[in-house]
């Protein structure tokens, strides 16, 4: 266990950041899973910009790697384009 005040504060703040990052990442993953079940193009057209924005925010905050964000965005766009 840490002894210095600053290290105790760092432990507390790291825990809060970790919980926030996990929540945002899990929310985005759930949105992606839901998006992949969509079968109507109109609904996918509405949802895609929201999900791409979520992925971009995760990438910007270094919660996910930028290459993974690009790969996810590509696969989601391909899914939307494959719908009729």
DSSP category for residue 65: -
65 within domain boundaries = yes
Is 51 within a domain? yes
Per-residue pLDDT tens for 42-69? 999 999 999 999 999 999 999 999 999 9
Residue 61 lies in a domain: yes
Residue 26 counted as domain residue: no
In terms of Cβ atoms closer than 10 Å to its own Cβ (0-12, 13-18, 19+), residue 47 is: middle
Separation between Cα atoms, residue 21 and residue 52, nearest integer Å: 17
Angle at 30 between CA 24 and CA 34, to 5 degrees: 145
Average pLDDT, the chain: 96
Domain of 66, in residue numbers: 42-84
Give the model's pLDDT for residue 1.
75
Tally of domains in the chain: 1
Each residue of 23-44: pLDDT tens digit?
Answer: 999 999 999 999 999 999 999 9
């Amino acid at each position: 266990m840490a002894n210095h005040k600053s290290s105790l504060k760092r432990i507390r703040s790291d825990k809060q950041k970790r919980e926030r990052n996990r929540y945002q990442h899990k929310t985005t993953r759930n949105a992606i899973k839901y998006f992949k079940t969509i079968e109507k193009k109109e609904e996918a057209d509405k949802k895609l910009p929201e999900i791409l924005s979520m992925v971009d925010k995760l990438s910007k905050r270094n919660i996910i790697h930028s290459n993974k964000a690009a790969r996810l965005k590509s696969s989601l766009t391909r899914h939307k384009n494959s719908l009729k």
